[in-house]
A and B are shown apart, each in its own frame.
Chain A
Amino acid sequence: MVSAGATYALAMQGGTGQKALTLILARELASNLATPMFVIDARGYLVFYNDAAEGLIGKPFAEIGEIAANDWGAMLDLSTESGEPLDTHDTPPAVAYYHHRPAHDALVVTALDGTRRHIEVTAYPLFAKPEEVEGVLAIFWEAGTNEGGA
């Protein structure tokens, strides 16, 4: 039997482990949506994306699993609609994560399979308490697709 303190510490480290309830509810929502959605935790990890978002990443979530912030940012080749490279820190999910405010933008994303998509992204922080962000929810609307790159 594990002590209370140990149980708590283990859970906080993701050992036994327990995601924040806001993330659990966000995942359940995402799982039932046909709209692409990312669930990002308080560490910045992409901890879930739904089936509809597989097209943006190029692989199913089950194949990739949880991805650290830098890694999933690098997986997405992002640019502005005018073709300028976009720093991952300027994307709506990053703005929501770092600045704790909602953000929306139109982007072009190139997935792992080379497909380019014009998308709009809305991201907002998940406040469990007024001063405590437990993660970010990002929703994507596809504006159009250009197969095979630029």
Chain B
Amino acid sequence: MEARVWGCRGSVATPGPDTVRYGGNTSCVEVRLADDSVVVLDAGTGIRPLGIELESEAVDEIHLLLSHLHLDHLQGLGFFRPLFNPSVRVHIWGPPSPVESLEQRIAQYLSPPLFPVRLADIPAEITFHDAPDEPVTIGSAEMIASLVTHQGPTVGYRIEESGRSIAYMPDHEPSLGVDLAELSPSWISGNMLAHGVDVLFHDAQYADEEYPDHVGWGHSSISQVVEFARKAQVDHLVLFHHDPHHDDDHLDALARVATDLMAGGCRLLSLAREGMRLTVGATSAASASSPASPASPSSPASAASPDGP
């Protein structure tokens, strides 16, 4: 199983000279399974270049797992080329709602005046699925979804294949008004998804000093994500959903803080960056093939391979 980051910015795309190292595209992670099935986590602006690659490979079936429908996780969908190929089957999974179907909610964005093409006019064969209550088989993997704490219905995902696992919680505030360190794991949102995973992509939007002004906004502070990963016994924590106001240097500083806090916790810690590849194999734990971040100097498999989207 291999994960590749196509977008890791939170809230809004932030291209520019201050974000070239970690990237400005919003959330999108590609996961290739052993049987070559394609799973895509979220449809932020990073999904646009991914779509070009999938088109060039003539991929004809894609599972798109949406964590939620905030625009930074959906905005790229209309620019995802496979949607405009009638021979491509796209399964879109997302959070359930008691009011409107997933299709109806996505159609609010993919319709005028917000977008020129109506969802109903998109040529690909699209099937919508509410995030399931029980594990679902996708290709050679099993996918588990569970609601997590954010603003509005939001799900996190766990993908398991041959005893290895990836969890994805890009927008998540695991404790609200209570001390995460004092909670038992059973009372922590998302713990079941993250428990014992090889790689966890997790919200790391705020520096600790920024968090008090953003309680309840649905995102984590650096201390929270480190503690969350420690309690869930995660092997490799990947800090994700970078705040649009944090430039590359600021992110490096946050990673140093996280590394200091991590003592005794996860074995590896990295900052997500566009182009980062993580191989979660049967014989080794996650190996990162993007340039080593300052936060993961001890990574045994962090050899530079700076190919990006």
Contacts and interface: CB of A to CB of B under 8 A. Distances in A.
Contacts of A19: 186-187
Given A1-B163, A4-B135, A4-B160, A28 B178 contact: yes
Contacts of B175: 28
Interface string B203-242: 0000000000000000000000000000000000000000
Contacts of B144: 4, 7-8
B173 to A, nearest CB: 10
Interface stretch (B51-59, B190-198, B299-307): B190-198
20 contacts: A1-B160, A1-B163, A4-B135, A4-B142, A4-B160, A5-B142, A7-B144, A8-B134, A16-B186, A16-B191, A16-B195, A17-B185, A18-B146, A18-B191, A18-B192, A27-B178, A27-B187, A31-B177, A31-B178, A128-B147
Which of under 10, 10 to 19, 20 to 34, or 35 or more describes the interface residues of A? Answer: 20 to 34
B264 interface: no
Contacts of B122: none
A31 B179 CA distance: 10
A143 interface: no
Size class of the B contact interface (CB-based, 8 Å): 20 to 34
B111 to A, nearest CB: 26
A3 B142 CA distance: 9
Given A4-B142, A27-B187, A21 B192 contact: no
Given A25-B149, A130-B98, A17 B192 contact: yes
B189 A21 contact: yes
A32 B160 contact: no
* Chain A CB within 10 Å, residue with most, of B165, B185, B188, B195: B195
Question: Most chain-B Cβ atoms within 10 A of its Cβ — which of A5, A21, A129?
Answer: A21
